[in-house]
Structure 1
Amino acid sequence: MDTAADLAPQPLDHATALPARFYTDPAMVARDRAAIFDRSWQLIAHVCQLQDAGDHVIADFAGLPVIAVRGAADDDGPGTIRVFHNVCRHRAGPIASCDGLAARSLRCRYHGWTYGLDGVLKSAPEMGIAPDFNVADIHLPQLAVRVWQGLVFACVDEASAPDFDAFVEGIDARLGPGRNLANYGHHHRIGYDVACNWKVYVDNYLEGYHVPHIHPGLNKLLDYRSYITETAAWYSYQFSPLVNADRSGGDTLYGDGDALYYWLWPNTMLNILPGRLQTNRVVPLGVDRCRVEFDFYYTRDESGEARARREADLQFSDEVQLEDLTICEDVQRGLASGSYQPGRLNPLRENAVHHFHELLRHTYRQIPPLQERRKSR
């Protein structure tokens, strides 16, 4: 049961973290999906993964299977990108079980019901014997879609979500014309299953306070003294110049420039370094489990030097992620121990954590727990 004190707005200079039950109560799984994920813009793909008609990408939207697919091209250009529920209208089989290229249709592998790239049912084996059954009356539920900086976002309930232009307002100007994320090409995907609530992982991402203590390699790459964290309405970003020293005695891994880390409510991260975009999606799997999916996109360069840098980047990223998931799992155990009472946040280093928690508090105030909604009816 929420208390007024738990969800009251808190000023940054005296803010505390959320109570442990928001990370450990099993009822939070359904509450977070209804209150947050179904009402938010979530990243599903980059346009380079959906170049041609029939190209498709699947994802998990906090328990809702979805599929993004490029429709058929016409005289006006490439086909429309649509995002559907990846759930057959017959008996809930999967329309697709993996990403794919150039599919002519979407066929449920359970009983073979087949949908067009527009989501309308085209055929259903042996259903001609069913009275008043018309395939054209059946279609996959569709999500709202926006493509921004080459990134494909979708939303289950657009009417309850932030206006998309307001959602990303100011990011284009900060990136500048020299860092158009649409220009990258997909290279690699990796995922990590983490034994923690999805909010624990987001909390950890939102602050560089832990970098000197958890990430020795990353700490050598970033200028911690110049590390800046700023917040906007629906996102926050962290910025640091890259230190002109690498891990092997040669040229820097990423060259000259800066590291820019964007978090977009509620579960999308954009990690931008010279020549590389890395996206992560944090997918809730249970109250104490989540999956973090990483996609790596690089400038289009197949030289030996570029390939070597990509391999080094993947190895370095894996090192950092293993450090993160280890501490996140430790934190989840601490939250579940019964010992933890909400601690004070560092106003300089944890302002983005405070920003995230204020968005959570606001959302939970608007959408009470399920049992409370039932009592009020």
Structure 2
Amino acid sequence: MSPRPTLVAELAPQPLQHATALPARYYTEASMAALDRRLIFDPGWQLIAHLCQLRQPGDHVVADLAGLPTIAVHGEDGEIRVLHNVCRHRAGPIASCDGLAARSLRCRYHGWTYGLDGVLRSAPEMGQAPDFAVADVRLPQLRVRIWQGMVFACVGEPSMSFDELVQGIDERIGGERGLADYGHHHRVSYDVACNWKVYVDNYLEGYHVPHIHPGLNRLLDYRSYVTETARWYSYQWSPLESGDGLYGDGDALYYWLWPNTMLNILPGRLQTNRVVPVGVDRCRVVFDFYYRRDDSGEARARRDADLAFSDEVQLEDLTICEDVQRGLASGSYVAGRLNPLRENAVHHFQELLRATYRDAWAPDGA
């Protein structure tokens, strides 16, 4: 893309009451994939894991940060590090999957082995290589913040401090709703034929719930559904009508954190979503489930019911998101008006996108 007059008009700030959606080009043009990684993901704080996955030295979790393979590892010194999961020899993977209690990190391509701190320990048959010092080689390390038991990392220079990102959330979810003391980890991933922003747009509004999610619509009180925005996040809230068989009494609280993290908080359960761009028209949505530590038969039954219900809802979302991507790519779509009552969080997200693209093309505000 180049800064043409049309783009300047498209990226101008829009008041909620008269806002239109972001034009199709930002979801379909091939150049957007690299642009979004450089402007949005590399300077953003991205969720990696929960501490219940990294309890002891050597425990590690792999994650894709918008194209950068990473590995979060519990070091021998107790520190949680997030390292590039790319061997410094010839770019092989240090780890292909999550693991427990590893004593070292070994590239499966040629066997170069790193300590849990990312420093190279051994390189087979490199002893005769001139001027090669094993200890001089180390895996690049990312900035890390641990918050509410969750590990976040930033690839580049952060576009905001982590405290700015989550300002005000602790007050809302503190006390019994705190998220640090969870376990029973379970992961489900979905590959979706849509741009990552299509999936985020869909997540940020309950406007579609009565039309796409019949089961979820029975669970939530749509008339009382509230959506609020902050500087770098938004949240949706609704009373639950689930009965004792699923979540019991309480409410549903859905947080989105710039750029691609979702926290779905229900009584006794935390579900996190990471939306990972794979290409301009593809993304992977990674769901991690965490529950209060309870191995009773009743708790296991609720977890099974939760997983089944979540899969039902996600398949409904994925289907409509792929349909929307086809519509955006069709050449037919002209950006339509947003609903000020129900799509204020979509507007908030798209205004953050507009500001990001606008600042990149015209840093002086011209």
TM-score range, shorter chain: over 0.9
Shift in Å at residue 180 of structure 1? Answer: 1.2
| Contact residue 155 and residue 161 of structure 1 kept, 8 A | no
Report the equivalent of 1:359.
352
1:290 aligns with 2:289: no
CA distance in 2, matches of 1:304, 1:326: 34
* Residues 79-106 of structure 1: per-residue CA shift (max 9 Å, x gap): 1000011000000000000000000111
Report the equivalent of 1:194.
192
| Contact residue 29 and residue 287 of structure 1 kept, 8 A | yes
Number of equivalenced pairs: 359
Which SS does the other structure have where 1:193 is aligned?
Answer: strand
| Contact residue 186 and residue 295 of structure 1 kept, 8 A | no
Report the equivalent of 1:238.
236
Report the equivalent of 1:20.
24
| Contact residue 82 and residue 143 of structure 2 kept, 8 A | yes
Shift in Å at residue 160 of structure 1? Answer: 3.5
Which SS does the other structure have where 1:129 is aligned?
Answer: coil
1:144 aligns with 2:143: yes
Runs of 4+ in 1 over 2 A off after TM superposition: none
Instruction: Please list every run of 5 or more consecutive structure 1 residues that lacks an aligned counterpart in the other structure.
Output: 74-78
Give 2:55's match in structure 1, choosing from 39, 51, 66: 51
Report the equivalent of 2:34.
30
* Residues 54-87 of structure 1: per-residue CA shift (max 9 Å, x gap): 00000000100000000014xxxxx100001100
1:66 aligns with 2:59: no
CA distance in 2, matches of 1:100, 1:160: 29
Give 1:181's match in structure 2, choosing from 179, 182, 194: 179
CA distance in 1, matches of 2:195, 2:211: 22
Counterpart code for 1:330? D
CA distance in 2, matches of 1:117, 1:6: 47
Shift in Å at residue 367 of structure 1? Answer: 2.1
**1:92-111 to 2 correspondence within 5 Å?**
92-111=91-110
* Residues 327-369 of structure 1: per-residue CA shift (max 9 Å, x gap): 000000000000000000011100000000011011111223x
CA distance in 2, matches of 1:213, 1:5: 33
* Residues 257-314 of structure 1: per-residue CA shift (max 9 Å, x gap): 0000000000000000001000000000111110100000000000000000000000
Report the equivalent of 2:88.
89
Instruction: Please list every run of 5 or more consecutive structure 2 residues that lacks an aligned counterpart in the other structure.
Output: none
Counterpart code for 2:120? L
Percent same amino acid at aligned positions?
Answer: 79
Which SS does the other structure have where 1:181 is aligned?
Answer: coil
CA distance in 2, matches of 1:162, 1:218: 34
Report the equivalent of 1:343.
336
**1:200-239 to 2 correspondence within 5 Å?**
200-239=198-237
Shift in Å at residue 161 of structure 1? Answer: 2.3
1:8 aligns with 2:7: no
| Contact residue 282 and residue 290 of structure 1 kept, 8 A | yes
The two structures have a TM-score, normalised by structure 1, of 0.94
| Contact residue 49 and residue 186 of structure 1 kept, 8 A | no
Report the equivalent of 1:76.
none
Counterpart code for 1:139? R
Which SS does the other structure have where 2:86 is aligned?
Answer: coil
1:318 aligns with 2:311: yes
* Residues 166-224 of structure 1: per-residue CA shift (max 9 Å, x gap): 11000000112111100110321000010000000000000000000000000000000
| Contact residue 197 and residue 289 of structure 1 kept, 8 A | yes
CA distance in 2, matches of 1:47, 1:114: 25
CA distance in 1, matches of 2:359, 2:120: 38
Counterpart code for 2:158? S
Shift in Å at residue 252 of structure 1? Answer: 4.4
Give 1:303's match in structure 2, choosing from 296, 318, 321: 296
